[in-house]
Structure 1
């Protein structure tokens, strides 16, 4: 019984010790997040959890140009399937439809144009699938604590923030102070970027840019507040158990 009393007192002491620390961590965490949102002049949004949202400035949509290969398929209508090279003058040929001017169009604009042309042959809303391949197109892979881990086509260097935004933004548990850019085909150490500080200071334009073929890794961070909350919860349960026994 004396051992139980000693353990009970120890649990109470742990709770009393952790409560001020937990409160302090919570206040610091909240104030840091508020300052990031308030002092971020770069135009990029961060959620209340501190994650990076979709940037105001999105990568420009790719526009079809001469030399690109355009694949077209219409769900349920194989007669319209085609693979066509954009010829000089910006034209491609679609079966039954004929020549279409596509130079300078985005994929979405081309889909709308094709939908209008197909209305003479197909009733309703056809499902049109378009894939555009450029001889210069390469990919950047974004993985880790982002909404959508995926490969993204790029033609040239892209700002780091825009690549993360293309992946839907970072998740709440993302550690934006230790984002890594892994260079493709080079014997280089990964480039570590403190994106959180750059967002706070409005200096994102000075960050290293992502090159075609690179991989962007956004690590997860340990949530200190949650860890201490879980520990406190366990201590309370332990205290309740000892009280019941006593």
Structure 2
């Protein structure tokens, strides 16, 4: 199981729905506050559409500076994220399946598997607690890690009480009941 990283230390990437303020020094007519469109672009005077999604603010500023340099002498561009709306969805943790109340909640540093299970009201009687999984994005792709929630909740085995990261999803499958079992 990978260890948790401090999500606050990672550089912010602009996302759809974020509001960015683009300031072009000594060119107030080119400065504006813009919402990133669903296609990931912003529209700027003189440059047209510029892809903003997935870029750090300084990367976007550099790209706008290069585009404007063909029309404006030595443009100085600053980009600030003034409303990080996309972060609300990226920085969530989720629990699905056989819990009393499946949840998607805002990530809080230090949040653990047990915290999320308790927020979801605990497991249902039909939960296959030994087959639960934690799905986490690692190096751009989702990895699945086994969780024994029965050991964690009933036995207090903290080996399964992992610290969560933004984007984590806990899945609790249903028990398989075979005919003839009572």
Give the TM-score band, short-chain normalised. Answer: 0.3 to 0.5
The structure with the greater share of residues assigned to strand is 2
TM-score normalised per structure 1:
0.34
Larger Cα Rg: Structure 1 or Structure 2?
Answer: 1
The structure with the greater share of residues assigned to helix is 1
TM-score normalised per structure 2:
0.45
